[in-house]
Structure 1
Amino acid sequence: MNRQLTNSKLLLKPASASPALHRVLTVPQLWGIAVGLVISGEYFGWNYGWAVAGTVGFAAATVLVTIFYITFIFSYTELTAAIPDAGGPFAYAYRAFGPMGGFSAGFATLVDFLLAPPAIAAALGAYAHFLNPDLSPQWVGAVAYVVFVSINLLGVRDSANFSLVVTILAVAELLVFMALVAPGFQLKNVVAHTDSFGWSGVFAALPFAIWFYLAIEGVAMVAEEVKDPRRSIPRAYLLSIGTLVVLAIGTMLLCAGAGDWRQLATIDYPLPETLAMVLGKGSVWTSLFASIGLFGLVASFHCNTLGYSRQLYVLARNGYLPAFLGQVNERFRTPHWASIVGGLIGLGALFSGTTDQIIIFSVLGALVMYIVSLLSLFALRRNEPQLERPFRTPFYPVMPAVSLVLALICLLAIVYFNLLLSLLFVGLGAISLGLFWRFGRQRINVHLTTLGEAERH
């Protein structure tokens, strides 16, 4: 069989008689998932960039990363609309480069989506601890895992509707935050205490700037559950990136101008602390925001659990992970074992690392996945010009080339400043590759043989 045809069929047919995912999602729900996946990045995590680059250096890093994400989303949308598969980057890389390409994208995507939730869970715990010092941040995060994995088991329609409601509340809350902080904004605060930072800080801050947008690509992982994916997905992506750019820039500038930004640079609850600077810790608005500030974290946590479960499901369905992870619950039509196992892995990360290290590790996975996806775009344009593309990347090949160069710059900078974490990432990748080479290839070959025999008959 032709390799491209074989790759495509492998991705489109489940490896077992398990029920298929349910196509129920629309543009508003996709927007809710896309923004929900990311919006916690406005609530915490980005501020660690101030600790290594200052406000001015971090602003430069954010501009660079914003340009990258805009060019990337316009490029990535072509892939998602043309190949609406729950595997997302795995599906594109498999179709473009075969099993090894699929492995590279699948491993990187798993690192991205499995480690974003524990970082968010840590921030949920920190916000709860801010409200009640008697609460343990880690155990609050653990409870969040139990609650939201359970919600995701009940069906994608209810899960997406929940995401939409919570995301709308989170966006509204950020707009209220900006309105409350704006009267206290002073430009002199933004540029204060930045003399000791230079260009090295800009590059060191890149992973925290990426946190503003990390995981927006996760919409691709619910592509098999979307009504009319070839039209709905491009619209949702473009609406989402516009929303996130406005929120990221507004949040960063207003926090920097509210007072001494150094007080915010190493905490997991920078927004309530910013309000405390402007309005005072005793303000009703400060306490209220810390309470409802959980909406943004809940939205991202919930949507990222949805994302990792679909990636585990697809990798298992296609022979890269144990088959039981590819099972779909007959009643709720959700990948229940993938949700549960991913949650257990996240809990391990929650209790074993600091928030900034988890963020950097997640970003490493994301950047590798971005690079493989962009290479897949170029390869598929060359090898499959006849592929139906409802959305085509504007200014091709310039736009994806710019995105690819920026992704490589970000990856090299992060590796340079985080060598030990990068070596750990490579080591885990090597172990996973060894396991795949030993066990996974046999399942894929059996699956391909079965498909070939079915074709002949």
Structure 2
Amino acid sequence: MLRRKPIPTGWKAEADTGLKRNITTVQLASFGIGSTIGTGIFFVMAEAVPEAGPSVIISFVFAGIAAGLAALCYAEMASSVPVSGSTYSYAYATLGEFAGMAVAGCLLLEYGVSTAAVSVGWSGYLNELLGDLHIPQIPHALTAAPFDDDPGAINLPAMILVGMCAILLIRGASESARANAIMVFIKIGVLAMFAVIAFTAFNDDNLTPFFADGAHGVTLAAGTIFFSFIGLDTISTAGEEVKDPQRTMPRALIAALITVVLVYVLVSLAAVAAQPSSEFAAQQDAGLAQILNNVTGATWPSLVLSAGAVISIFSVTLVTLYGQTRILFAMGRDGMLPEFFTRVNPRTLTPVNNTIVVAIVVAILAGFIPLDYLADMVSIGTLVAFIVVSLGVIILRRREPDLDRPFRVPLYPLTPILAIAACGYILYGLHWYTFVFFGLWVSAVLVFYLVWGRHHSALNTGRPDPLQAAP
């Protein structure tokens, strides 16, 4: 359970694993931006502004710093262990097989549930945009609430979205990357449009008192806002499909982080300056669109923003679905899952089996199960992954000081220690039952490992690893 997978270095990082290396730095950075700027920025202002007032701008900066500390640790690990699998592969190489499997459970939970939840959000925005032409939901008894005689409804638009993303991923990683880059450009353009229009209503009085609830309000709002930064780690799942991964991945991570922070700060400043802080609490649904309606007195800006939200959420679903398929691929290659998950289509060079399986599971979750109560489950999986990566940086520095590291975390060891502390602080604020459900899920994954995975592990059977093969 403590055996560690050797770290591929030099030419091994470019080994032929069956996947095609054709993703560029810009496309990879767009992956991170696309999976991060999603539903959060369109809703979080209604929750964060009542907590901090105008100083929510500082809260966005603080949350960005916390996410940035983790992103810097990801950048060093990505340059040191440039393979698919994200935190799973990093944990396998630093903490051992048992810990790697536990982290894999965290990632599968994070990507699977978040993809389904985001798909449900896309459904609502799409129907709002279409108006009378909306796609109806199909009544079905399986989705009814307990002890409720009324049937629930199959969320057909959410299932359609998952299917479209799966088809795009099956066609090829480069095609998906190009489509995502276009959607990222559109979503940033829409948010820039919001900022420009909102700034026309800039009022100094709306920024006073700036610290409405003091430092406590800033910290509280930063905890709420932090989850708008979840998604940057998706970049690290593409280690075997990018060109020159040891340099491309750190650059893409940092570029994505800077872009996301700038967009969030700009949007938050424009929003709080355009209307009094007291009005945000009542804008739980499509808050940014309501601000545009109030500023312009017209409906077209909010329609454009809704269209941008539809495109934005589409790209989030696409990238998170991609990330999960690559994690399964890495696990299958290591023997932690059946060989079925390692098969790559010879024409498209994509793991089609993984994409189909993930799409079916996520579509069922999105279509049949209400996912609101699982939001914290996504957060706990992400935070644990952030902590493991930060810890992995410290362990590798001590265990293998001479390892080739094209990117090194600045201010080591302070940066990874602060990243662990920041994530631990946010974990402390989660509900107790979140830890219970999380523990049950990870326990189920570890039971599978003890019963099946450890016996079929590539390290146990001696099966050759393409990343470790001779040139």
Deviation (angstroms), 1:295 = 2.1
Residue of structure 2 equivalent to 1:184? 201
Query: 2:214, 2:159 → 1: CA distance?
Result: 37
Residue of structure 2 equivalent to 1:97? 95
Residue of structure 1 equivalent to 2:227? 211
Give secondary structure in 1 for the equivalent of 2:200: helix
- 1:420-452 CA-partner distances (Å, limit 9, x unpaired): 223111111111111211111111167543449
- Closer/same/farther in 2, CA of residues 202 and 346 from structure 1, 3 Å limit: farther
Residue of structure 2 equivalent to 1:35? 33
1:389 aligns with 2:408: no
Residue of structure 2 equivalent to 1:419? 432
Aligned partner (choices 118, 121, 124) of residue 120 of structure 1: 118
State the TM-score, normalized to the length of structure 2. Answer: 0.84
% identical aligned pairs: 21
Query: 2:204, 2:124 → 1: CA distance?
Result: 29
Aligned partner (choices 402, 405, 415) of residue 421 of structure 2: 405
Residue of structure 1 equivalent to 2:282? 263
Query: 1:198, 1:395 → 2: CA distance?
Result: 26
Deviation (angstroms), 1:188 = 4.6
Residue of structure 2 equivalent to 1:147? 164
Residue of structure 2 equivalent to 1:174? 191
Query: 1:409, 1:21 → 2: CA distance?
Result: 38
Query: 1:316, 1:22 → 2: CA distance?
Result: 17
Deviates more, 1:92-101 or 1:319-328: 319-328
Contact 2:53/2:212 (8 A) holds in 1: no
Deviation (angstroms), 1:344 = 2.6
1:235 aligns with 2:251: yes
1:292 aligns with 2:308: yes
Query: 1:315, 1:382 → 2: CA distance?
Result: 26
Deviation (angstroms), 1:58 = 5.5
Deviation (angstroms), 1:46 = 2.5
Query: 1:325, 1:194 → 2: CA distance?
Result: 52
Deviation (angstroms), 1:77 = 0.4
1:277 aligns with 2:275: no
- Closer/same/farther in 2, CA of residues 427 and 3 from structure 1, 3 Å limit: closer
Contact 1:19/1:330 (8 A) holds in 2: no
- Closer/same/farther in 2, CA of residues 105 and 56 from structure 1, 3 Å limit: farther
Query: 2:340, 2:216 → 1: CA distance?
Result: 48
Give secondary structure in 2 for the equivalent of 1:225: coil
Deviation (angstroms), 1:262 = 1.4
* RMSD value, Cα: 3.0
- Closer/same/farther in 2, CA of residues 65 and 44 from structure 1, 3 Å limit: same
- Closer/same/farther in 2, CA of residues 161 and 447 from structure 1, 3 Å limit: farther
> Which blocks of at least 5 consecutive residues in structure 2 are unaligned?
138-154
Deviation (angstroms), 1:104 = 2.4
> Which blocks of at least 5 consecutive residues in structure 1 are unaligned?
none
1:247 aligns with 2:245: no
Give the number of aligned pairs: 438
Query: 2:338, 2:47 → 1: CA distance?
Result: 38
Deviation (angstroms), 1:90 = 1.0
Deviation (angstroms), 1:7 = 3.7
Query: 1:302, 1:333 → 2: CA distance?
Result: 18
Residue of structure 1 equivalent to 2:149? none
Residue of structure 2 equivalent to 1:432? 445
Deviation (angstroms), 1:83 = 1.0
- Closer/same/farther in 2, CA of residues 228 and 211 from structure 1, 3 Å limit: same
Query: 1:375, 1:217 → 2: CA distance?
Result: 15
Deviation (angstroms), 1:105 = 2.0
State the TM-score, normalized to the length of structure 1. Answer: 0.87
Query: 2:217, 2:265 → 1: CA distance?
Result: 22
Query: 2:339, 2:47 → 1: CA distance?
Result: 40
Deviation (angstroms), 1:272 = 2.0
Query: 1:238, 1:213 → 2: CA distance?
Result: 13
Residue of structure 1 equivalent to 2:387? 371
Query: Which amino acid in structure 2 is aligned with residue 395 of structure 1?
Result: L
